[in-house]
């Protein structure tokens, strides 16, 4: 019975990782689609929204079934709790990827201003955080998430830099307003994805150690 439970728990974690890499891929490819004005890629990202929702429901059902059948305790229970929290954050990351794909459709045919300002660099930073959180979840290596507060501050600073730069372009020429407003929103989406990576890191830390931490 114990062996069967741990096999199923391992499968649950594997599914969370599958969902996580899907969400991360949606975010990364959405910015790639925006950068290259690739409508086909944007449509591909939009088509994967249903997969995120399916993973969310499936993992939640499996987690609740494990609790009901095996009544886990201590670290096992914390692991299941971590899985339930992570799928919420990953669903939101996937949705932000979808939102950015929709921005790509809105801006098709318009030449980018300042090569998308700092948005591609922001996405790189956020995706690195998401990837490290997923690896820490898989390996329980907390060193990978130890510096998340500083990394999140870097993403926040980039968001404010995008905002200030876009405001200056909007003031220079009113024709830039719509495009820059989209850039500001995209930078906000990416910042929120980094925040979700931080929340995952908090739950992973609790899963491994049993001690709560807060990334401010």
122 within some domain: yes
Chain centroid to CA 212: how far? 21
Q: State the residue range of the domain holding 97.
A: 2-209
Return the CATH number at 153.
Answer: 1.20.58.220
Within a domain: residue 216? no
Count of domains observed in the chain: 1
What pLDDT does residue 36 have?
94
CA distances 40 to 44, 46, 101, 133, Å, are 6, 10, 10, 30
**Alpha carbon distance, N-terminus to C-terminus of the chain:** 41
Does residue 34 lie in a domain region?
Answer: yes
Segment 144-159, tens digit of pLDDT? 999 999 999 999 999 9
User: How many CA within 13 A on the CB side of residue 165?
Assistant: 18
Q: What pLDDT, on a 0 to 100 scale, did the predictor assign at position 216?
A: 81
Q: Mind giving me the DSSP string for 65-96?
A: HHHHHH---HHHHHHHHHHHHHHHHHHHHHHH
Summarize the confidence of residues 175-194 as an average pLDDT: 97
pTM: 0.96
| For the chain, counts of helices (H) and of strands (E) | 7, 0
215 lies in a domain?
no
Share of the chain above pLDDT 90, in %: 94
- pLDDT of 77 higher than 80: yes
Q: What is the pLDDT of residue 195?
A: 98
């Amino acid at each position: 019975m114990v062996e069967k439970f741990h096999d199923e728990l391992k499968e649950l974690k594997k599914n969370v990782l599958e969902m996580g890499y899907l969400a991360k891929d949606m975010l990364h490819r959405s910015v790639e689609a925006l950068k290259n004005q690739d409508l086909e890629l944007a449509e591909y990202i939009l088509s994967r929204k249903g997969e995120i929702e399916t993973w969310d429901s499936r993992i939640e059902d499996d987690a609740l079934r494990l609790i009901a059948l095996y009544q886990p305790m201590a670290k096992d229970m914390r692991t299941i709790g971590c899985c339930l929290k992570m799928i919420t954050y990953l669903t939101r990351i996937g949705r932000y990827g979808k939102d950015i794909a929709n921005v790509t459709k809105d801006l098709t045919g318009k030449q980018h201003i300042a090569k998308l300002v700092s948005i591609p660099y922001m996405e790189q930073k956020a995706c690195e955080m998401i990837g490290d959180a997923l690896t820490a979840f898989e390996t329980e290596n907390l060193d990978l998430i130890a510096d998340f507060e500083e990394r999140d501050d870097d993403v926040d600073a980039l968001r404010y830099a995008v905002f200030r730069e876009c405001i200056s372009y909007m003031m220079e020429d009113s024709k830039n307003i719509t495009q820059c407003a989209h850039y500001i929103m995209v930078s906000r989406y990416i910042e929120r994805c980094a925040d979700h990576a931080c929340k995952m890191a908090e739950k992973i830390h609790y899963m491994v150690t049993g001690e709560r931490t807060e990334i401010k």
